Amino acid sequence: MTAFDLTPPDSAQRAALVAGLSSEEQRVLLHHGTEAPFCGVFLDNKREGVYGCRLCGLPLFRSSAKFDSGTGWPSFFAPFDPAHVGRVHDASHGMVRTEIVCARCGSHLGHVFPDGPPPTGERHCLNSVSLRFVEQGAAWPDPLRRGGAESARAG
């Protein structure tokens, strides 16, 4: 069970969070867009830390689970906590895939595929624009001002 509060932001909190997004972040996070491959800021990030939801700050993936999939998007074989990443059937664009979303705010993250490395065999393929990165040892952002686990340090 997660130590983070997964209660969705209320309408006022959500409006404040959305107001802080760029138009590209809104396109991807809120309208299920995809950034172009090989251009995301986190594709080649090698620093130690945790990747979280750009909108609500929920931790999503540890850098230790990141791998080079060759697809052009940051890829991870396992989430920070399985409860933090929701899965949605996606039959758009003439294909059937599994979309991944932030379990707290519902923001679009990317897709998960069954062709990743051990131990999970999964490839969580994410848009860099959907993420925020917190270096190991840095204070975790708490945009919803919830305290608790949100006031922990990344690691």
CATH of the domain at 122: 2.170.150.20
39 is in an annotated binding site: no
Domain of residue 57: give its range: 11-138
Is 108:99 a contact under the CB 8 Å cutoff?
yes
Q: Residue 55 domain-assigned?
A: yes
Q: Residue 18 domain-assigned?
A: yes
Q: Residue 68 domain-assigned?
A: yes
Residues 6+ apart with CB under 8 A from 96: 89, 90
pLDDT score at 120? 97
Q: Residue 39 domain-assigned?
A: yes
Q: Residue 107 domain-assigned?
A: yes
Domain count, the chain: 1
Is 125 one of the annotated active-site residues of the chain?
yes
Residues 6+ apart with CB under 8 A from 98: 87, 88, 89, 90, 111, 112, 113
Q: Which helix (H) or strand (E) holds 12?
A: helix 11-19
Q: Residue 117 domain-assigned?
A: yes
**Per the structure block, which two tokens stand in for 126?**
């994410």
Nearest residue to 51 via CA among 64, 32, 68: 64
**CA–CA separation, 128 and 93 (whole Å):** 21
User: End-to-end alpha-carbon separation of the chain, Å?
Assistant: 18
pLDDT score at 1? 55
From 28, 85, 125, 131, the catalytic residue:
125
Report if pTM > 0.85. yes
56 is in an annotated binding site: yes
Is 82:107 a contact under the CB 8 Å cutoff?
no
pLDDT in tens, the chain (155 residues): 568 899 999 999 999 999 999 999 999 999 999 999 999 999 999 999 999 999 999 999 999 999 999 999 999 999 999 999 999 998 887 888 899 999 999 999 999 999 999 999 999 999 999 999 999 999 888 888 887 777 777 77
pLDDT score at 51? 98
